[in-house]
């Protein structure tokens, strides 16, 4: 019975160059490379950011105009992820979809796609915003 471990990188990764390093690490360890592309509108991102407290990077602005500038900069430089970057799967999540429901569908799909005799280990929990973390 072979176990497949899953690591989740919760990061914007706005360009192929930023995603490249994570794909290389996954490739080195023989891990499945899946991208969950959260396609949220500017207003949704701004609203979520203004509600954030103690951003884990410690560098995210707190003033609405600064938040808007950061989001616009990401929006202006963002390149949609593509399979030819090395991803086996890309899941595109729109604003109207529930992230938790999408995550459950992904886990279900992966389990059905894996060969018989392989189990998937997942050590994730939901934070107060419903986001998954290892």
pLDDT tens string, the chain, 134 residues long: the values are 456 666 778 788 999 999 999 999 988 888 888 888 888 888 888 888 877 777 665 666 667 888 888 889 999 999 999 999 999 888 888 765 566 677 777 777 676 666 444 444 444 443 433 444 33
Here the tokens at position 86 are 């090395």
What local confidence, expressed as pLDDT, does residue 129 receive?
Answer: 39
Cβ 19 vs Cβ 85: under 8 Å: yes
Q: Where are the alpha helices (DSSP H) in 52-119?
A: 64-77, 99-113
| HSE (side-chain half, CA atoms, 13 Å) at 94 | 1
Closest CA to 127 of 45, 64, 71, 51: 51
What local confidence, expressed as pLDDT, does residue 27 receive?
Answer: 87
Q: What is the pTM of this model?
A: 0.65
What local confidence, expressed as pLDDT, does residue 96 receive?
Answer: 56
What local confidence, expressed as pLDDT, does residue 2 receive?
Answer: 57
3-state secondary structure of 14: coil
What local confidence, expressed as pLDDT, does residue 114 receive?
Answer: 61
């Amino acid at each position: 019975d072979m176990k497949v471990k899953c690591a989740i990188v919760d990061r914007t990764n706005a360009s192929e160059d930023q995603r490249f390093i994570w794909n290389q690490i996954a490739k080195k360890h023989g891990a499945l490379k899946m991208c969950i592309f959260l396609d949220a509108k500017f207003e949704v991102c701004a609203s979520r950011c203004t509600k954030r407290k103690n951003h884990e990077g410690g560098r995210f602005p707190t003033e609405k105009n600064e938040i808007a500038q950061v989001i616009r900069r990401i929006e202006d430089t963002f390149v949609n992820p593509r399979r030819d970057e090395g991803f086996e799967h890309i899941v595109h999540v729109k604003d109207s979809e529930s992230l938790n429901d999408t995550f459950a569908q992904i886990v279900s799909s992966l389990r059905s796609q894996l060969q018989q005799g392989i189990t998937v280990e997942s050590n994730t929990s939901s934070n107060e915003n419903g986001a998954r973390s290892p």
